[in-house]
A and B are shown apart, each in its own frame.
Chain A
């Protein structure tokens, strides 16, 4: 008995791994049926989900005799057993039960797909023979139901995030497209005075450039995030990278103060690192008045000094690290703006007219790059007092020189 339970637990863990690997809901349901049918001897496994989160649960996936089938929402009538279990959120054993479009089962066990108070649907297993489900079967199927609920929740959250990103990207693209379509249509449909023509062409050119930058940066961000871009890693002196970026962005050397401490080297892609410093410094220059100075500080720190959440292990991480902080005396950010600062397309500031040029992707790209380097990007800000954006990368000492004692 104990041995069998240990084997079942192992099977459940293996099954959970398979379920969590799926990134599409239909495929996930199919794998879930397969996993549950292999956990214990059953003739039917069926999953019931409410359509659009409301209404009664209808059968969305069913397994019988070794083959599984997905059903569109609301194709089958609402199952009364599933509806009852979803309402009461407790497992239920049932006498004769008929799955959607299948032969009657002598006994059935229905458990809610529930994780931390959120019930997403119902899992029902059935047998055509009169041997009943035991207590250990109930806890096993309940555990499977919980894993499946968690996997579904995660998948739906990721899906929402993706939809939101696509929606934001479409919005960002539609605005410059409006200028291109609108002004061309006007110029084709009526006689426009040459001075207006020139103004409009200038605007259209600006918007076309904005579109091109947007496309480039979106590709940049997704490439770094998905890991498809390979890092060209070498030992890098962060102060050299910072100094190079400062020279490029602050041509006459009047606005940016570079404060450099002797810092250890890091293992990083020098160009990507330069891009991070560039994005942070450009924000600082753009979001503060031109007469105000901006400070770039490169220093040696503990990895946990900044950016680790207070009270977590990360905050006490004392491994040596190199930190880069870019400090401005600009408009600063409200706490709620600060919380969203690293989100793609988020832009601080009251009105776009006051905003500098940019896509709103700079910080999201910087964050993706820093995290690919196992570092952390952080920010402090006070409205009216300026902002500090910085990052930490773990230090990497160069290998000892050949022949050294």
Chain B
């Protein structure tokens, strides 16, 4: 059962993601700030991370950079899920090592699809 780490400081958004993924069979773990996101990424070994950018203590961009520097987490795909969705922020998210970008407000169905696609392409890569 794939594990997904949801990082957002808004409890409402975490609840929404949980509701959107209900019945999909993923295991969900949550973090509400940058540092606990890094800790959870190491302790919970998630298969995918949904990451907000505007996080307390450590920004999502910095969290992503650190994940990509750490051999233990470098392969974990990161999808940014953020309200900062202008061109410059998309570029910054790419540069930080994000695999995808979902702008808030988002469609729960589209979110589920993008998560499934990302996990599938990672599985294909791993099986080669």
Interface residues of A (CB under 8 A from B): 167, 170-175, 177-183, 185-186, 189, 196, 200, 203, 206-207, 349-353
Asked if A185 contacts B108 (CB within 8 A), the reply is yes
Asked if B106 contacts A178 (CB within 8 A), the reply is yes
The distance from the CB of A53 to the nearest CB of chain B, in whole angstroms, is 14
Chain B count of residues within 8 A CB distance of the other chain: 27
If A185-B107, A351-B56 touch, whether A175 touches B32 (CB-CB below 8 Å) is no
> CB-CB < 8 A to B32: which residues of A?
351-353
Asked if B13 contacts A175 (CB within 8 A), the reply is yes
Assembled-state Cα–Cα distance A189/B108 (Å): 10
Q: Output the nearest chain A residue to B107 by Cβ-Cβ distance.
A: A185
Q: Output the nearest chain A residue to B9 by Cβ-Cβ distance.
A: A352
Instruction: Pick from B89, B104, B108: contact of A177, CB below 8 A.
Output: B104
If A167-B86, A171-B54, A174-B104 touch, whether A353 touches B9 (CB-CB below 8 Å) is yes
Chain A facing B: main interface SS: helix
Assembled-state Cα–Cα distance A173/B105 (Å): 9
If A350-B56, A352-B9 touch, whether A174 touches B83 (CB-CB below 8 Å) is yes
Give me 14 A-to-B residue pairs in the complex whose CB atoms sit less than 8 angstroms apart, sorted by A's number.
A167-B89, A171-B84, A174-B85, A177-B104, A178-B12, A178-B104, A179-B13, A180-B105, A182-B107, A203-B15, A206-B12, A351-B32, A351-B33, A353-B9
Q: Interface digits, B67-97 against A, CB 8 Å rule (1 contact, 0 not)?
A: 0000000000000001111100100000000
Asked if B16 contacts A183 (CB within 8 A), the reply is yes
CB of B29 within 8 Å of the partner chain: no
> CB-CB < 8 A to A180: which residues of B?
105
Assembled-state Cα–Cα distance A257/B114 (Å): 55
If A350-B33, A353-B9 touch, whether A179 touches B16 (CB-CB below 8 Å) is yes
Assembled-state Cα–Cα distance A381/B8 (Å): 28
Q: Output the nearest chain B residue to A174 by Cβ-Cβ distance.
A: B83
Q: Output the nearest chain B residue to A204 by Cβ-Cβ distance.
A: B12
Counting from the closest, the 4 A-B pairs by CB-CB distance are A174-B83, A171-B83, A352-B9, A177-B105
> CB-CB < 8 A to B57: which residues of A?
350-351
Instruction: Pick from A182, A200, A351, A353: contact of B105, CB below 8 A.
Output: A182
Q: Output the nearest chain B residue to A166 by Cβ-Cβ distance.
A: B86
Assembled-state Cα–Cα distance A178/B107 (Å): 8
> CB-CB < 8 A to B82: which residues of A?
171
> CB-CB < 8 A to B104: which residues of A?
174-175, 177-178
> CB-CB < 8 A to A196: which residues of B?
19
> CB-CB < 8 A to B108: which residues of A?
182, 185-186, 189
Best-surrounded residue of B57, B83, B109 (most CB of chain A within 10 A): B83
The distance from the CB of B62 to the nearest CB of chain A, in whole angstroms, is 15
Asked if B20 contacts A186 (CB within 8 A), the reply is yes
If A174-B105, A175-B83 touch, whether A352 touches B19 (CB-CB below 8 Å) is no
Instruction: Pick from B10, B16, B85, B109: contact of A352, CB below 8 A.
Output: B10
If A175-B10, A179-B16, A182-B20 touch, whether A189 touches B106 (CB-CB below 8 Å) is no
